[in-house]
Chains A and B, each alone.
Chain A
Amino acid sequence: GESVGLHLPTLSVQEGDNSIINCAYSNSASDYFIWYKQESGKGPQFIIDIRSNMDKRQGQRVTVLLNKTVKHLSLQIAATQPGDSAVYFCAENKDGGATNKLIFGTGTLLAVQP
């Protein structure tokens, strides 16, 4: 299928290694952040979210870190697997939940080498 990863920053990791994907967000007033995974030919899939009153949240094999001082968000994937290969987007909500409007980053292509 057609790739959405053309011209995107690429992170290449070995299977079993940990992956860290970084994102800078734009609005200090944003209070909700989400990481999405998008495989070729599919819509974005929710991975994990975090609210601005937290600096860390853990899920299954994934951890999101939020640094509001430098407006930086990161996604850590433990023991990366071939099925993790996809484009990863961070997204922010800027309007305090008044709408579901999400502002997406440019995306990072994660390539897992067997």
Chain B
Amino acid sequence: ETGVTQSPTHLIKTRGQQVTLRCSSQSGHNTVSWYQQALGQGPQFIFQYYREEENGRGNFPPRFSGLQFPNYSSELNVNALELDDSALYLCATTAPRLDTHNEQFFGPGTRLTVL
């Protein structure tokens, strides 16, 4: 196991609603990234947080937003849900960078279904 936990495991919402997903990382993992994985596809990068600020974003609209807290846990918020938002949402955490690239540890994901 990676030590990364996500909640809830499953969630059902209706179109137009808002949702908050949560991620807790291993101690000291100060960078968190969020990914969206549609069924049958690879994960797509949403954004990354480092020291409580967003420092990288993929091709997702502003209704996808996030937070990182002082204990490095994180939230992903999605407003005005659309049917195409139905996916597995993954968070990945990284320890303080010792080299140019550090291994990312993925959580088990939250399965979001929008009806």
Q: Which residues of A contact B (CB under 8 A)?
A: 2, 4-8, 31-32, 36, 41-46, 49, 51, 89, 91, 93, 95-107
Contact = CB atoms under 8 A, between A and B. Distances in A.
The A interface, classified by DSSP as helix, strand, loop or mixed, is loop
Contacts of A97: 97, 100-101
A102 B111 CA distance: 20
B39 interface: yes
Nearest to B88: A4
B58 A101 contact: yes
Contacts of B2: 43, 45
Interface string B86-115: 001010101001001111111111010000
Contacts of B43: 44, 89, 102, 104
Given A41-B108, A43-B90, A44-B90, A104 B42 contact: yes
Contact of A101 (B4, B42, B45, B111): B45
B42 A106 contact: yes
A91 B106 CA distance: 14
Contacts of A98: 56
B106 A43 contact: yes
B56 A99 contact: yes
Nearest to A93: B101
Contacts of A107: 41-42
Given A4-B88, A100-B31, A105-B42, A43 B107 contact: yes
Nearest to A98: B56
A91 B33 CA distance: 14
Contacts of A4: 37, 39-40, 88
Nearest to B102: A100
Nearest to B55: A99
Nearest to A109: B40
A49 B103 contact: yes
Nearest to A101: B45
Contact of A46 (B90, B105, B107, B111): B105
